[in-house]
Chain A
C-alpha cells in the first residue's frame, strides 16, 4: 500500500511539473512570418486619397545617391547593428516584419480596450466626464466607448492609407533600392522584395499613427513613441531601410497626420457629449411625440452616451445623407406590436442555452474590450494576414472598413437619439440580460449596424469569405436579441442601416483605383 501511495504522489507531482511547464499562452498573431506581398502595388501612388489633395501635396526631397558618403554612412549603421543583434532585437524585427498596418491596428485595439471603462460616479450621483485638456485626471481621457473607438480607428486607418499612397508615390518616383539590394553584405532579415525603400513605409506608418494617437489617446504618447522607435529600429536592423529612408518617412507621415487631426478637431465629435439641457430635451421631445422616452438603467442614472455623435461629420457621405439613410420609425412604444417585441425578448432570456451564452459573450464587446469595431478589425486583420497584401493595400482595406465603421456609428447614433427608444428591460424590468446593457437608447442596435456595415465591406474585399462574414454579422445581430439587450426590430433595422453604410464604402472601393 505504501508503495502505491508513494507512486501516486510521485505521479501527481510529475503531472504538476509537466502542466506547469506548458501553461504559457500564445496569441494568435505572436509568431507570424514576415509580410511577403503577392504584389507591391507599385502604382498605388495614383489611388484615390481621403483628405490628401494629391499624392505629392507634401514634398519629399530626393534621397542621396547610393554611392554618396551619406548613403554609405547609413549602410554602415545597418551593418553595425547586424554585427550584434540581441534576442530582443531579433524578436522586435520579427514582430514588425509581419506588417506595420497589422501591428498598429493591434496596438490601437489594445489602447481602445485599455481606455474603454465607464467613469465611476461622483458622491452626489452625477458622473465625471473625461477631459482632453487634463487627460491624466480621473476619469482619464478618453473613455473609448464604441462610437469613440469607431472614430479613432477610422481616423488612424484613413490617415495611414493617405500617408502610404503618398509614400508609394515617392517610392516609385525616386525608385531607391533597398539597402540589401545595394550592398549584398546587408542581411535581409525579413526577406527581400523589389519595393523601393525611400521613403520608409514603416516610418510613414509610425509617424502618421503617432501623431493621431496624440489627439485620440493623449495619455499614451510616451508608450506610442516607444513603439515608433521600435518599428523604425526594426526597419533599419532588418536591412529594409536606411536612417535617411526612416527620417523622410516619419516626416511625411507626421505631416499627413496634420490633415486628419485638423479635421478631427472640427468634426463635431468634441461636443457629442451634450449637456444637461440637451439630455433633458430628448426626454421632453420624445414625450411630446406621445412616446415613452429612454432612461438609463444604471444606478445612479448615467447621462446618455455621446448623444450628439449622430452629428459627427462622416467620411463616406455628407451629413444630409445620414438623415436620409436613417431607418424609419420603430413601432410606437404604446402599440401592441412594441409590447410583443419586448415580450419576445423576455421569452428569449428565460432559459438561455450554453450556445446562446457563447454567442452573447463572443460578441459582447462591452466595457474593457476593444468594442464591436475592434472586433471586426480583429476579424478582418486575421483574414488579411492570409491574403499577402502589400502594406498599402492593407491600409486601403482597413481604411474602407473603418471609415465604414465610423459612419455606421454616426448613422446608428443619429437614429438612436432621433427616436430615443427604451430598452426591453426598461419596458419589462423582469428582462435580465446575459451581458451588460449599454447606456444609450435601444433603436437601432449598434452591433447590428456595425456588423452589417463591416460584413458588406469585407464581402467586397474578400468575396471568397462572403458567406462567412454574412453569417458572423447575422450572429452578432442575433446575439443582442438573445442577450435581452435589444428587440428583434432593433436588430433588423440596424442591419438595414449597416448595409446602407457598407454600400457607400463598396462604392468608394470600386472607384479608388485599387481594383
Chain B
C-alpha cells in the first residue's frame, strides 16, 4: 500500500502565505509503505492569496496584489519495515507579488525527514480496523535563504522538531483519521541587528514560538482509490500580531483554519504508479494570507530488495 505522502505538503505549503513553515511533507495519512519498497515522485503545488489577515483584520494590499507561490518538490517514503517508514522531501520554491515593486524570490527551501511508526493495528470485528501511529519529524533549511523577507520569503529558516500522534478508524470503505502535532522551532538569525515586535529587540536573533496542529480527515478508501476531505487548525503558540499597515515578521502569531480535499488513484494496469491531486483553502486566519492551493503529484514504487512490490492496496481492511 502507498501512503498519501503528499497530503501535508500542501497544508503546510498553504501557509507559505506569510509562511508558516513550508516544510516538505509531514505525513498525515494512516497508510504505511511495505517493507523495502521505495516510493518517490515529483509534486507540484500552486498557492495564491489576495487577502490576508493583519492580526485579526482582514485586508488586501494594492502594493502586493496577489502573492503566489509555486512549489516543485521531490518526495519519497521508504518502508524500513511494514510498521516503520522513513519519509523525506525537499522543495524548490518561487514566490512573487503581482503588484508593487518587491523583487520575487526563488530557491531550494527546507529538507524534511520523518519517521513514521505504527505500533498498533487491530481488527475490530469483521468490518473495522483501528490503528495508532507515532511520527517524529525534523526539518532544516538546505540553503541560506532570507527568512526576514515576508511575504515573499521562501520559508522561515527555523530548524523544526515535530512529534505527532495519529489515530485511524476504518469501517468498510469509510475512514476517519485524526492527528495532533507539536512542533518545536529553533530560533533564527536575521540580517538586521535589531527589530521591533511589541518591543525593541537589540539582537539579530529571533525567538520563534512553537506550533501546534490538529488535523481531521475523512472519506473512502477502496481498492485503488482514496477520496477524502480534511480540516486542519494551525496555531502558533505565542508570537505577535502585525500592526496596522506594518510588514509581517517571522515570529508573528500565524494561525490558520484550512479545509481541503484530496484524491489518490492507482491505475489497474500499472499498480506501482499512483496519481494524486488536491486543493485547499484557508477559511480563517491570523497574520497569514487567505490562500487557495492546488497540487498534483505522481509517485512510483521501486522494490529495493528481492521482494515483490507490495500490492498498492489503499484499503487497510482488505489487506488484513
Contacts and interface: CB of A to CB of B under 8 A. Distances in A.
Interface in A430-455: 431-437
Interface string B147-178: 01100000000000101000000000000000
B192 A110 contact: no
A357 to B, nearest CB: 5
Interface band, chain A: 35 or more
Contacts of B102: 432-433, 435-436
B241 to A, nearest CB: 13
For the residues of B in contact with A, the DSSP-based class is loop
Interface string A111-125: 001100111100000
Interface string B109-125: 00000010100000000
Given A5-B117, A8-B115, A361 B84 contact: no
Interface of B: 62-63, 81, 84, 99-104, 115, 117, 134, 136, 144-146, 148-149, 161, 163, 184, 186-187, 190-196, 199-203, 205-207, 210, 243-247
B193 A20 contact: no
Contact of A1 (B84, B100, B201, B206): B84
Contacts of A120: 244-245
A375 B200 CA distance: 13
B36 to A, nearest CB: 14
Contact of A378 (B146, B149, B202): B202
A368 B244 CA distance: 11
B251 to A, nearest CB: 10
Given A19-B186, A370-B200, 5 more contacts: A9-B134, A109-B194, A117-B245, A299-B100, A361-B191
Interface string A332-360: 00000000000000000100101001100
20 contacts: A8-B115, A20-B184, A25-B203, A25-B207, A109-B194, A113-B196, A114-B200, A120-B245, A299-B63, A299-B100, A357-B191, A361-B191, A362-B192, A362-B193, A367-B245, A368-B243, A432-B104, A434-B103, A435-B102, A436-B247
Interface in A341-400: 349, 352, 354, 357-358, 361-362, 364, 366-370, 375, 378
B149 A28 contact: no
Contacts of A435: 102
A485 to B, nearest CB: 9
A13 B202 CA distance: 31
Interface of A: 1, 5, 8-9, 12-13, 15-16, 19-20, 23-30, 106, 109-110, 113-114, 117-120, 138, 297-300, 349, 352, 354, 357-358, 361-362, 364, 366-370, 375, 378, 425, 431-437, 484
Contacts of B163: 12-13, 16
Contacts of A297: 101
A117 B202 contact: no
A109 B200 contact: yes
B232 to A, nearest CB: 22
